Structure 1
Amino acid sequence: MNIWYLHGFRSSAKSPKVKAMQQAFPSCHVRGISYTPHSPVVAEEILINEYEKLIGKDDVLIVVGTSLGGFWARWLASELPIQSLMINPSLHPDKTLETGEFTVYGEFNEMIKVTNKDLQDFNHYKVTSQPYGECQVALAMDDEVLDSASTAKELEGIYLIHKFDTGTHRFTDFERIFPVIEQMVGK
């Protein structure tokens, strides 16, 4: 069993959430995927290449993604027979991201650049049909970055939605999501 963590914008594969999941799910191969979530064409290439490495081995995969990582977790489940958990997903990064240069949290020397082309390219990756795989959603209803009520309304009736009163955008007290992941692992 493989669990991937897809970080959000300005984060990295070194997120503490990866270590927390490794400790909580020691029988699973848990790893953070190093990719460029803000650059759709590059992100697709990296994620598909990583998936192809699993084929023929232990190809059972659960993808957990936060914010922009949730966008990519949803897209992967629309393309592949996987399970995904979107945490406070950014459903419309073409509208919610800004262009410019940004530092990565905790990575003082790393800069990322978002261009108008990146924002336009997101439109090619928006999910408009039923997923091939299975998706679930976890929302912190006090998300200060994305409107969780609007996200819930948009995804209602499509995916199972788990609502949490608190957690903010970064989903603090991340271990509260572990029962959902545990249920997915048990399938």
Structure 2
Amino acid sequence: MPPTHLLYLHGFRSSPLSAKAQRMAAHLAQHHPHTHWWCPQLPPSPQAAMALVVEGLRDWPRNRMVVVGSSLGGFYASWVAHRYACPSVLLNPAVDPARDLAHYIGEQSHWHRPEDRFEFRAEYIAELQALDVRGLPATGPELAIIAKGDELLDWREMTARYPRAQTVLLEGGDHALSDFEAHLPTIDRFLRSL
């Protein structure tokens, strides 16, 4: 039975206004109108972000939920999937954000609302390390959509991180997966196969 509840986790400096989140929400509304959709605005603190998610998932059916995550949201999605033993869809997922985001400590702005600024603090690096589930076996089916043309993350690192995932490896593409619409049928097939 396909999932009845879908959690979408956006990436660093992103929001529920991201193109992928908006396309996914529209796709669900059109093709899966009974699926419960939640895409929260994640706070900059990884610990606070996952506390928000855990609280929001309190009443969700564990055996009927799926998590989708993009970039940093993909890293978070792996943590959620491990905790809840649910399927996950990973879109150019961050593999080692504790390493990569160390360069972003300080004041940042959101992509979709540049006037909204936030502080990415040094202590968030340790919070990211505490959420790292690399090396632990997957507890649910995984679909990874990875672009070799990702300008921010190394596709080799992403594919190595998810060796057991059903992987769609794109020859080109970009970090934003600008052609995300074309991948919705693949995600649908994955969800129907669960």
**TM-score normalised to the size of structure 1?**
0.89
Specify the alignment match of 2:76 in structure 1.
Answer: 72
CA-CA distance at 1:13 after TM superposition: 1.5
Report which stretch shifted further, 111-120 or 137-146. Answer: 111-120
As a proportion of its length, which structure holds more strand? 1
In structure 1, what is the Cα distance between the partners aligned to 2:156 and 2:175? 13
Could you tell me which runs of 5 or more consecutive residues in structure 2 were left unpaired when the two chains were aligned: none
| Identical residues among aligned pairs (%) | 26
CA-CA distance at 1:55 after TM superposition: 4.1
- Give the secondary-structure state (helix, strand or coil) at the position aligned to 2:116: strand
1:144 aligns with 2:144: no
**CA distance 1:34–1:102, shift in 2 (3 Å):** same
Specify the alignment match of 1:18 in structure 2.
Answer: 21
**CA distance 1:109–1:53, shift in 2 (3 Å):** farther
1:32 aligns with 2:39: yes
1:113 aligns with 2:119: yes
Please tell me whether the aligned partners of residues 95 and 157 of structure 2 are also in contact (alpha carbons under 8 angstroms). no
Please tell me whether the aligned partners of residues 45 and 120 of structure 2 are also in contact (alpha carbons under 8 angstroms). yes
Report which stretch shifted further, 64-73 or 116-125. Answer: 116-125
Could you tell me which runs of 5 or more consecutive residues in structure 1 were left unpaired when the two chains were aligned: none
In structure 2, what is the Cα distance between the partners aligned to 1:135 and 1:112? 32
Query: 1:102-138, CA deviations, whole angstroms, 9 ceiling, x for partnerless residues?
Result: 1001213211221221012211111131122222211
Please tell me whether the aligned partners of residues 21 and 30 of structure 1 are also in contact (alpha carbons under 8 angstroms). no
Please tell me whether the aligned partners of residues 18 and 112 of structure 2 are also in contact (alpha carbons under 8 angstroms). no
Q: Which runs of 4+ in 1 moved over 4 A?
A: none
CA RMSD of aligned residues (A): 1.8
**CA distance 1:33–1:184, shift in 2 (3 Å):** farther
Letter matched to residue 43 of structure 1: A
In structure 1, what is the Cα distance between the partners aligned to 2:131 and 2:106? 21
1:154 aligns with 2:161: yes
Specify the alignment match of 2:106 in structure 1.
Answer: 100
1:41 aligns with 2:40: no
Letter matched to residue 30 of structure 1: W
Higher relative contact order (CA 8 A, sep 6+): 2
In structure 2, what is the Cα distance between the partners aligned to 1:145 and 1:125? 21
Letter matched to residue 21 of structure 1: M
Please tell me whether the aligned partners of residues 143 and 169 of structure 1 are also in contact (alpha carbons under 8 angstroms). yes
